[in-house]
Structure 1
Amino acid sequence: MFDNRVLVVGDVMLDRHVHGHVRRISPEAPVPVVGLLGEVCTPGGAGNVAAGLAGLGCDVTLAGLVGADAEGELLREALGSKGVARRELVERPELITVSKTRILSEAHQQLLRLDRDGDRDRFAAFDDDLLARVLPLIADQTAVVLADYEKGVVTPKVARAVIAACRARGVPCVVDPKKVDFSPYAGATVVTPNLLEAERTAGRPLTDDDEAGIAAEELREALRTDAMLITRGPQGMTLALPGAVHHIASRTRDVSDVTGAGDTVVAVLAACLGDHWPIADACRIANTAAGIAVGRPGTYVVQAGELQAAWGGLSPKVLGRQAAAAVLAEARRRGRRIVFTNGCFDILHAGHLACLEGAKRLGDLLVVGLNSDASVRGLKGPSRPVIHQDNRAGLLAGLACVDVVVVFDEPTPVELIELFEPDVLVKGGDYTIDQIAGADIVLERGGRVVALPMVPGLSTTAILDRKAG
């Protein structure tokens, strides 16, 4: 979707998620005993912004400070797995790599978080080393992000030097702020505080659109930025531009996890500004991306394909097969159980709904493979389908039990099953296991195949026959 070069400078962290089952309380203290099932490491902080840019197709470079420790090595591996290949990480033995370890139950409930924060003053002592790496890179970038989490990397000196270099070279600079005093961010292209950060800096509550708009314009003028964007969660966004304030309604539907939503906004803004989008349009598509991110579990990296589809008016649940594979791979890394089913779903009816709801109860994420119009014609003849594939996909995506919809052209979904590697394969109807396409693939991987009974008298063919009669 985007093909540009973006530099991210900021506080890089390692996010570690430890999954386990809870079956008893410890006899030593009134705490749960967690039986370890697995561990997932992902980039956090500025690393998550960089991962988001890579997911959008950008050529991203990440600059920051890390320690000479095991966490630093895990962070590099996690960045590589997210496609962040260009890294200007200044490593010093005096530092420790910032990390957050979350202990999660089998039901994905957070039980405990362990933070390993570095010494802010020690990080700040290496700002000259960081600038020596960063400043020569700016001239070759289409956009720059300052991701400040107040861990000590983005000192006022670093912020001012990077922003000045961007201004001098005409490179857009997006700032995600954490400091109470925004003055080091003066002259940036756009600063993106969330509501709490904006209220803290403005010194007053911002309870409605008017108050948020006034504060955004005051901050924009004080900092001499091109724009000030306050992200307000369910209330959407407030964007202040010279002579105009825009309120952008939230695009969020079902909220699964708000972690990392701000990183998503910053990444999309930088990608858009690097492609010379008007700031207002860049904020609107960033708002769309945030809506996708909070609808997915964990810190989610929005993929270019799903953002493009959502921006075009399609449900973010309707994905191409590669985008879906990326979503499911991340879900699997987080210990989620994936269920797959497929069908034509031509004239969606209560029998379909019963099957889909039954399938969802067998796992955490339900993926529906939907036969394309060409595939349906090949299976059922030239008079079918009655409903176009885009409309059928949209109807399925509107169901709460459905998490992902993928349209396929083949007669059977075997290729999708091979790609997605579901834990459970479900088919509705009077099938034996050997009659279900892809059953052998799932069973060979140790998965489960289930045939759910149909609701008597309910089928698309029967409905059409009654109408014709």
Structure 2
Amino acid sequence: MTAPLVVIGDVLLDIDIVGSSSRLCPDAPVPVVEQAEERPRPGGAGLAALLAAAAGRQVVLVTALADDEPGRRLRAMLERHLEVAAFHLHGGTPCKVRIRADGQSVARLDAGEGRALDGPVGPRVTDAVAGAGAVLVSDYGRGVARHRAVRSLVEELSGGVPVVWDPHPRGERPVQGVRLLTPNEEEAARLAAADGADITGSGLPAAGRRGRHLGRTRDVEGVAITLGADGALLCDGSQAPFLAPARPARGDSCGAGDSFAAGTAGALADGASLAAAVTEGVHHASEFVRAGAAAAFADRLAETGTARLVHERGEDAWDIVERTRRAGGTVVATGGCFDLLHAGHVSLLQQARRLGDCLIVCLNSDASVRRRKGPSRPVTPAADRVRVLEALSDVDAAVVFDDDTPAPLLERLRPDVWVKGADYTGANLPEAETVRAHNGEVVLLPLLEGRSTTRLLSTTRKGNAS
């Protein structure tokens, strides 16, 4: 059995009060939030642990919990998905309440100043850290990462187990042997300033200087500074830092840093290099934001009781379709092999995306392509075709299907518009009946003349023969 990922840190109760607003309060210039709903979720290290569990990983959360109503709510939410090894939190459970209207935060209320004070932690905590396959310290400055017994347990791992330290400006210095420090830009600037370093500026140059400084002064193997939409910059003592770029993602970024740290720690637990782990962490964070971030995570917990939110790339389509429909948008889909992506494909996808609010590509699996095109196809395997398609700004997601036609997939997807190229004019489309049965429509779009994968391959073979 694989050793678990152990997440160590402070847990908060995050609550979003979500509604709509169309008017101001008569006695003050503040919005009136109507039809408000409460969406609770674990925050801090609790969110990082849940995200790791949502990716299918065995997780143990080492934290401090108070025996109050928010603390009991947190424990109930967490223990459904992972093991909790908790010691006593002195004072009230920290709670953060965001009031949101029409997708924007209008106020935040903070309560509870509980602290984890030095004292016994119990055998469950000791055994959890000793049996870790990797450790993520999610420090929110409320005492768990400062606790002497906890720090001693992490130090005893002696570098044999990868440790990721996600810092907080009010938190603690990492213990010796930490493999990766993961501050964001603001945290990196504050940490460097706290060391007395005069590193001014912003952007990649300043992040690189701060990363190298923190790597030296904090005695860590690598520093990965998260840069929001620009990804993360890894400084690991190499001649030049490594940039892991983020995929384009729009939405509430609350919790994206926890998603990055959890994804990175999980990859290190699986034996990945620092660069590969940081790249995986950026991917996790991008997908988290694309899926609606923490608000969607809370919805999923409330509606289904499951923590699973981060999926394989092709499965993200269902969250995108659901969000588009909730907003009253139009779902567009198209399909094909998309083997050796060319200008004709790009033109079709650009036209298709303009017809609605999201574009889902139904992609023939490798076996399906072979049945259609012969044993020498596809040239590019499905995983690579998905990656190339999803890198295009006009494609929101790609889903692989193994049937001879996309009809079974469309039965589930139920697009408002199904797009095919004009070369299908007059052809029998077996999936058309499925699309129209759900009030969708089939649309044929013009193609760039002379562009096809078959023609590209034929030209290449002739060139090689000569």
Q: Given the alignment of the two structures, is residue 427 of structure 1 paired with residue 418 of structure 2, yes or no?
A: yes
What does residue 397 of structure 2 align with? 404
What does residue 269 of structure 1 align with? 264
SS of 1:256 mapped into structure 2 = coil
8 A Cα contact 2:361 2:397, kept in partner? yes
Aligned AA for 1:282? A
Aligned AA for 1:240? D
8 A Cα contact 1:355 1:454, kept in partner? no
Give the CA deviation at 1:213: 4.6
CA deviation digits over 1:311-343, x for unaligned, max 9? xxxxxxxx2xxx437755995999797836343
8 A Cα contact 1:160 1:185, kept in partner? yes
SS of 2:267 mapped into structure 1 = helix
* Distance (Å, rounded) in 2 between the aligned partners of 1:52 and 1:353: 34
8 A Cα contact 1:143 1:274, kept in partner? yes
* Distance (Å, rounded) in 2 between the aligned partners of 1:328 and 1:397: 13
SS of 2:241 mapped into structure 1 = strand
SS of 2:236 mapped into structure 1 = strand
* Distance (Å, rounded) in 1 between the aligned partners of 2:323 and 2:288: 13
Aligned pairs for 1:8-407 (under 5 A) are: 8-36=7-35, 39-76=38-75, 78-79=77-78, 84-90=81-87, 94-105=91-102, 109-119=103-113, 122-125=114-117, 127-130=118-121, 133-157=124-148, 160-167=151-158, 170-180=160-170, 182-183=172-173, 185-203=175-193, 204-207=198-201, 212-233=207-228, 234=230, 236-241=232-237, 244=238, 246-257=240-251, 258-299=253-294, 303=310, 305-306=312-313, 319=314, 323-324=315-316, 327=319, 339=331, 341-344=333-336, 347-348=344-345, 350=347, 353-358=350-355, 360-361=356-357, 365-372=358-365, 375=368, 390=382, 393=386, 396-407=389-400
8 A Cα contact 1:337 1:423, kept in partner? no
CA deviation digits over 1:91-145, x for unaligned, max 9? 769522533434141xxx21324333421xx4233x4254654223222111111
* Alignment TM-score, normalising by the size of structure 1: 0.72
Instruction: Note closer, same or farther for the CA distance 1:77–1:344 as it changes in structure 2 (3 Å cut).
Output: farther
Instruction: Note closer, same or farther for the CA distance 1:24–1:217 as it changes in structure 2 (3 Å cut).
Output: closer
8 A Cα contact 2:432 2:442, kept in partner? no
What does residue 312 of structure 1 align with? none
Give the CA deviation at 1:55: 3.5
CA deviation digits over 1:365-408, x for unaligned, max 9? 543323346546768x8699998674764564344343111010
SS of 1:262 mapped into structure 2 = helix
The number of aligned residues is: 426
CA deviation digits over 1:228-278, x for unaligned, max 9? 33334437313234xx45412241242424433322332233223323334
Moved more, 148-157 or 287-296: 287-296
* Distance (Å, rounded) in 1 between the aligned partners of 2:452 and 2:325: 42
- Consecutive unaligned residues of structure 1, counting only runs of 5 or more, are 307-318, 444-448
* Distance (Å, rounded) in 2 between the aligned partners of 1:77 and 1:438: 43
Give the CA deviation at 1:5: 1.1
Instruction: Note closer, same or farther for the CA distance 1:385–1:436 as it changes in structure 2 (3 Å cut).
Output: farther
* Distance (Å, rounded) in 2 between the aligned partners of 1:151 and 1:30: 35
Give the CA deviation at 1:147: 0.6
- Consecutive unaligned residues of structure 2, counting only runs of 5 or more, are 298-307, 339-343, 457-466
What does residue 313 of structure 1 align with? none
Give the CA deviation at 1:436: 3.5
2:440 to 432, 440, 450: 450
* Alignment TM-score, normalising by the size of structure 2: 0.72
8 A Cα contact 1:135 1:165, kept in partner? no
Aligned AA for 2:433? I
Aligned AA for 1:166? L
Give the CA deviation at 1:427: 2.4
Aligned AA for 2:278? C
CA deviation digits over 1:56-80, x for unaligned, max 9? 4321111223344554455345446
8 A Cα contact 1:338 1:422, kept in partner? no
Instruction: Note closer, same or farther for the CA distance 1:384–1:368 as it changes in structure 2 (3 Å cut).
Output: farther
* Distance (Å, rounded) in 2 between the aligned partners of 1:134 and 1:240: 31
Instruction: Note closer, same or farther for the CA distance 1:438–1:206 as it changes in structure 2 (3 Å cut).
Output: same
* Distance (Å, rounded) in 1 between the aligned partners of 2:22 and 2:149: 49
SS of 1:406 mapped into structure 2 = strand
8 A Cα contact 2:414 2:435, kept in partner? no
RMSD: 4.5
Give the CA deviation at 1:177: 0.9
* Distance (Å, rounded) in 2 between the aligned partners of 1:326 and 1:137: 36
Residue identity (%): 26
Instruction: Note closer, same or farther for the CA distance 1:142–1:398 as it changes in structure 2 (3 Å cut).
Output: closer
Aligned AA for 1:171? V
Instruction: Note closer, same or farther for the CA distance 1:74–1:382 as it changes in structure 2 (3 Å cut).
Output: same
